[in-house]
Chain A
Amino acid sequence: MKSIYLDYASSTPLANEVVAEMVSAISNNDFGNPSSVDHEYGKNAYELIEDCRKDVANLINADQREIIWTSGATEANNLAIFGSYEFNLKNKSGNIITSMTEHKSVIEPFKTLQKKGLRVLFLSPKRNGEIDLNELEKTLNKDTLMVSLMHINNETGVLNDIESIGEICRKKNVIFHVDAAQSIGKISIDVGNLKVDLMSLASHKIYGPKGIGALYINGKTMGRIAPIIKGGGQERGIRPGTLPTHQIIGMAAAFRLAKQHMNNDLNHIRKCRALFLKSISHIKDAVVNTDEVSTFPGIISLCLPDLDAESIIFGMNTIALSKGSACTSDSDEPSHVLKSMGLSQEEIRGTIRISFGRYTTMNEVSIAAESLVKIVTHLKMIKGQ
């Protein structure tokens, strides 16, 4: 019997409609190289991809020319950061502001740039995981070149106010990059209203295929980037490499579905969250690490400070959930996100992440809650509590 899947923040199953579109693309043998527009095979692939670009742009109210395909959000983050550096920032002295709660695909590039001599300031979040906007404004000075802050944190679900952050950055003429891997397709993003220069987008977090993503580059502002991969002239030379037509078709299908389902999905996961928290409310000492008002409802970072997350998850073996992010779940290192929030070692050890999605049923939520209560009871009993 397959486990109940409650790790939607890590990845999502392909939507049936996405599978159908990708299978159709593969079965139709749309194998033409979209760069080979001299013949019908290439032209056909090119046109399919441009239609898909419109779909991706449409979800965030962008112009399709502002969408550059990448292999995922990790590459999009790398492209935004290293690409900005190569285009412009390496010739300037100044600083970059990001946070300690960013995904490793943002932190590691910035650490690399630090070694090249760039000053990078990693803001600490508040205890509830939020970035303090006052602190950001104080830290941002005339030498700040770029700010990179994620929209929804993958471990805690904390929502950054990218609208306000964008205003702060634009006032000071600072490039603003947003890692939207967790938020795209789940909450409304309108780049027409946001002062965002670069935005990283993922497909596999919203029922699309893995291995494909995009970088939004605001055509009207200062988010210019140089390529970080050398090769042909695809994607206006910004991201060389033959485009994977079937992957792009899958991503576009997922994005179209996300636009249709967004409100329903959000209402649904709110109900899942409410039911789960109600069902475990009698577990003494169980604490959600973030504040309800500033957290995306689909992610719960739950702390059971007296217990070991690995044992909790092991005991809930018919439920698929995680200790933290997928990128760090196989590591013995404590979560850098929770550490930066000031959680104690004990609190970090006892934290699990539960995340809901479109296909989560209320029955699954109830079963998971029951399973958690059962294992917590067992672990407390064997601990002697």
Chain B
Amino acid sequence: MESLLRQYFSDSNSVYIASDHDDINFHTGVAVQVNGDFVKLYLNLKEDRIIEAKYNVSGCPFMIAITAFYIERIKNKTLLEAAEIQDFNIEKTLELPINKKDRLFLLEDALKNCIKQINRGK
């Protein structure tokens, strides 16, 4: 388990870096938790499909890992498919401890806020 957690914790392939992506018009969604954990999702859509997905995140190792894990899996998915976070089996795959399960809600909130932004633009 630890090696998978560590793999996604260390992964920076899909991290959003402003200078690398200033020519892409991303839709964004942010969520911040009371404890200071923070997620910002960047989605680039073609019609309803996610053609590019990036993130910025701050928090505990699980927060970082679940965000990297999720982003990797929503590329080429529709928004509707991406919204079904429980389908990605994050909790089981990364063996989320009970006291870290609320990090998934933060991810969900960030996505909901992103979808709100997308819908506002329509």
Contact = CB atoms under 8 A, between A and B. Distances in A.
Nearest to B68: A382
Interface in B42-56: 55-56
Interface stretch (A1-9, A189-197, A305-313): A305-313
* Chain A interface, DSSP helix/strand/loop, else mixed: helix
A332 B99 contact: yes
B17 A308 contact: no
A384 B40 contact: yes
Interface in B37-72: 37-38, 40, 55-61, 63-64
B57 A382 contact: yes
A314 to B, nearest CB: 4
Contacts of A332: 99
A308 B12 contact: no
B59 A311 contact: yes
Contacts of A383: 38, 56-58
B15 interface: yes
A291 interface: no
A382 B36 contact: no
Contacts of A310: 60-61
Interface residues of B, number: 23
A317 interface: yes
Given A381-B15, A382-B12, A307 B58 contact: yes
B15 A382 contact: yes
A384 B10 CA distance: 15
Contacts of B101: none
Interface string A351-385: 00000000000000000000000000011011110
B6 interface: yes
Contacts of B35: 345, 349
B36 A308 contact: yes
B114 to A, nearest CB: 15
Interface residues of A, number: 18
Given A345-B36, A378-B10, A384 B18 contact: yes
Given A311-B64, A382-B12, A383-B38, A306 B58 contact: yes
Interface in B1-21: 6, 9-10, 12, 15-18
A292 interface: no
A320 to B, nearest CB: 15
A311 B9 contact: yes
A314 B17 CA distance: 23
A342 interface: no
Contacts of A379: 58
A92 B99 CA distance: 45
A122 to B, nearest CB: 25
Contacts of B6: 314, 317
B109 to A, nearest CB: 18
B36 A381 contact: no
Contact of A311 (B12, B15, B60): B60
Nearest to B40: A384
B12 A346 contact: no
Contacts of A317: 6
Contacts of B64: 311, 382
Most buried by A among B9, B58, B59: B58
A384 B16 contact: yes
B9 A308 contact: no
Contacts of B9: 311, 314-315
A346 B36 contact: yes
A103 B9 CA distance: 33
A130 B83 CA distance: 51
Interface of A: 306-308, 310-311, 314-315, 317, 332, 345-346, 349, 378-379, 381-384
8 contacts: A306-B58, A308-B37, A308-B63, A346-B36, A382-B15, A382-B55, A382-B58, A384-B40
Interface of B: 6, 9-10, 12, 15-18, 35-38, 40, 55-61, 63-64, 99
Given A378-B12, A381-B17, A384-B56, 4 more contacts: A346-B36, A349-B35, A379-B58, A382-B12
Those 8 A-B pairs whose CB atoms lie nearest each other, nearest first: A384-B56, A314-B61, A383-B58, A310-B60, A382-B15, A311-B61, A308-B59, A349-B36
